[in-house]
Structure 1
Amino acid sequence: MAPQVEISDAVEESAIVPDVTFSNTKALFEQIDDARENSDTDSLVVGHISVNEFRAMEAERERRGRRSRVFFLPDLACLMVTIPTRHHERAHLEMYDCIQDVIKDMGLADQWRHDGGATFDPPGDASGSGEGDSSGGPSSRRDPHDDAFWPTLVIEAGVSQTLPWLRIKAKWWLTASNFHMKVVVLVKLLVATSTIQIEQWVAELSRPQRPGATTTRASHAANQPVVKQEVLMHWVGPLPLLQTPLNRRTLSNFRVKGAPLVLRFKDLMDRPPVPAAGEHDILISEVRLQRMAMRVW
């Protein structure tokens, strides 16, 4: 049975206000092309689009050759089109490299698989469709007909994409996968203030609201998406940052709050670490985060 994905009750209404209303597929691709002309625009939110219209849009996108990523919420009749701008791509790729480098340093490169921006569709059209920016998981997850085929990690970046929208995506990935997806890392760029905001979302068990309740539903804990950690990186050097020559940018001018970023080994690798083999949680240090910020900007 497909997992029930309910996003709308838990998000701010402002997060789902569409940029455009769907009329037809040809017009939508013209609107996407118009959005590409702004180098700071990495998203287009499309409202009033049905499942059939979304599938027709997908088919046309394949015919034209993919140049965007899509995220569809049928219960809201809403489509988020991600436009891969330079800063958007740097943000998620640098974050992914930070994580993958630690995995490689533990000698586990052969046990990790990169799924990129692959499309993931839960069973049935009611749950929607998602394409992450970067994703990956243990190579033991191989069977595409098994729920466990979902990767354990997905990274979503945003420039013009709002943080509330990125949070919608985080909740969807965890819920739509029936919590086979374990970690979602959001990387939000705030160009005006030269700030990078990172949120790590995971599934945690929620306890019954009424202690001692006897019903089956109340007596069992359930998974729910939660923010496990936040990291903020802010440029404090000469402004504006984007006009500051590279040779005048130093790591110390990127102030980091909330480091280190720690991802649980068992969440990513589907098994406990073996300390005797040098295995441990994935720890992204303050210096490594500063280097990431330097490369993103």
Structure 2
Amino acid sequence: MDPNTPSRSGSVASQAGSQAAMSVVTDPTTISSIGSEKPPLVKFQTAQILAQTIDATEGDVLYVQDVTPQVYDILDKYRESQGRKFRFKRFYPQQSLLIITIPTEYHEYMHRRLDHLITRQIDDMGLDWYQGGGATYKKRHGGISSGEGDSTGRPVGPENRDWPTLVIEAGYSQSLEALRREMQWWFSESNHQVKIVLLVKMYLPSRREIIIEKWRERLAGRHSGTMTLRAIGGDSGLRPYLDQTINIARAPDANPVLPESYRVTRGALRLEFADLFDRQPREGEGDVIIQVQDLRRIAAILGNSRHH
């Protein structure tokens, strides 16, 4: 069983993942992360035991089996009543699978700092922007799965918009492939109201590297040599494609707390105004650009962190 994602048939499949999943014990006092690319997988017992398991998990994500819609509602009420901060990253009722994001220091700082830099530039344009944070999103009619992003945002206006235009998903114990499946979910389930998904994969401290992927959608048939995934979301003809990849890497033996120790390739990060606001920019408005020096500062602060 591959704990990275449910398959289309309703099972979760992969031999390597199955071996990893079997190595996880459900005793919350002994559970630990299964390496950096194989998050722990447990079976639901009670809300209290799951909360203890979350507290003992070393990574930033936990996969929970045997979660029915009724159990999901119980967990949601328990989370609210206890003031717990973990997020229900994705719920697949057909597979009885719940993916939980655990707000570790690395995880939270990365997506929150990016969200802050983006919002600050939008504020400087004098525009209203709604920061959805970890709000729960699902289709209003006929929705099955649901999800909570790390950071989300959308314009404030008279439009009847149920979904954000921008989503940021971060992770270090999830594989980049698993994050890409999360990206596909946002485009598909929102019926393409989501316009940009930023994926932030952290390889800290082991590889001293952060990868930021910016994904958008385009009509099938338009090809420019970038990575394009197969069509999702019915007959829309839209396909997610990798619009920009930024690598932030620290030089060997360099001081991890100094921004100049980090090399940024393919920066700065550009978010198109037309995607964020669903209209063309007017005078005084324009794309949001996160400069290289800002990305270096983020890496330096994470490099100085002692806790995941």
Instruction: Indicate if the aligned counterparts of 2:39 and 2:174 stay in contact, CA closer than 8 A.
Output: no
1:184-235 CA-to-partner distances (Å, cap 9, x unmatched) read 1111110111111101122222249xxxxxxxxxxx7522332221111001
Structure 2 stretches lacking a partner, 5+ long? 18-36, 223-234, 304-308
Counterpart residue identity of residue 67, structure 1: K
Counterpart residue identity of residue 93, structure 2: P
Aligned counterpart in structure 1 of residue 48 of structure 2, from 1, 19, 26? 26
Closer, same or farther in 2 for the Cα pair 1:154/1:221, shift >3 Å? closer
Aligned to 1:293: 299
Aligned to 1:253: 261
Structure 1 stretches lacking a partner, 5+ long? 1-5, 209-219
Q: Could you say what secondary structure the match of 2:63 adopts?
A: strand
Pick which of 23-32 and 87-96 moved more: 23-32
Pick which of 6-15 and 286-295 moved more: 6-15
Aligned to 2:77: 59
**Cα displacement (A) at 1:7:** 6.8
Give runs of ≥4 in structure 1 deviating > 4 Å. Answer: 9-18
Question: What are the within-5 Å matches in structure 2 for residues 1-297 of structure 1?
Answer: 8-9=7-8, 13=14, 14=17, 19-35=41-57, 38=58, 41-70=59-88, 71-108=90-127, 111-123=128-140, 126-140=143-157, 146=160, 148-191=161-204, 192-207=206-221, 222-238=237-253, 244=256, 246=257, 249=258, 251-274=259-282, 277-297=283-303
For 2:288 and 2:7, the matched residues in 1 are separated by: 32
Closer, same or farther in 2 for the Cα pair 1:237/1:105, shift >3 Å? farther
Closer, same or farther in 2 for the Cα pair 1:237/1:155, shift >3 Å? same
Aligned residues: 262
Q: TM-score, normalised by structure 2?
A: 0.76
For 1:17 and 1:189, the matched residues in 2 are separated by: 14
Counterpart residue identity of residue 51, structure 1: P
Closer, same or farther in 2 for the Cα pair 1:222/1:86, shift >3 Å? same
For 1:95 and 1:30, the matched residues in 2 are separated by: 30
Closer, same or farther in 2 for the Cα pair 1:28/1:124, shift >3 Å? farther
Closer, same or farther in 2 for the Cα pair 1:230/1:237, shift >3 Å? same
**Cα displacement (A) at 1:115:** 1.4
For 1:123 and 1:149, the matched residues in 2 are separated by: 8
**Cα displacement (A) at 1:12:** 8.4
Instruction: Indicate if the aligned counterparts of 1:18 and 1:78 stay in contact, CA closer than 8 A.
Output: no
Counterpart residue identity of residue 54, structure 1: Y
Pick which of 25-34 and 193-202 moved more: 25-34
**Cα displacement (A) at 1:151:** 1.4
Instruction: Indicate if the aligned counterparts of 1:32 and 1:44 stay in contact, CA closer than 8 A.
Output: yes
Higher relative contact order at CA 8 Å, sep ≥6: structure 1 or structure 2?
Answer: 1
Q: Could you say what secondary structure the match of 1:278 adopts?
A: coil
For 2:66 and 2:242, the matched residues in 1 are separated by: 30
1:226-271 CA-to-partner distances (Å, cap 9, x unmatched) read 22211110011526x6xx5x4xx2x332111111211111110121
Instruction: Indicate if the aligned counterparts of 1:75 and 1:126 stay in contact, CA closer than 8 A.
Output: no
Pick which of 16-25 and 44-53 moved more: 16-25
For 1:195 and 1:46, the matched residues in 2 are separated by: 29
For 1:149 and 1:53, the matched residues in 2 are separated by: 25
1:255-296 CA-to-partner distances (Å, cap 9, x unmatched) read 11111211111110121112xx22222222222221222233
Instruction: Indicate if the aligned counterparts of 2:39 and 2:61 stay in contact, CA closer than 8 A.
Output: no
Instruction: Indicate if the aligned counterparts of 2:136 and 2:146 stay in contact, CA closer than 8 A.
Output: yes
Q: Could you say what secondary structure the match of 2:274 adopts?
A: helix
Instruction: Name whichever structure is richer in helix by fraction.
Output: 1
**Cα displacement (A) at 1:30:** 2.4
For 1:17 and 1:50, the matched residues in 2 are separated by: 21
Q: TM-score, normalised by structure 1?
A: 0.78
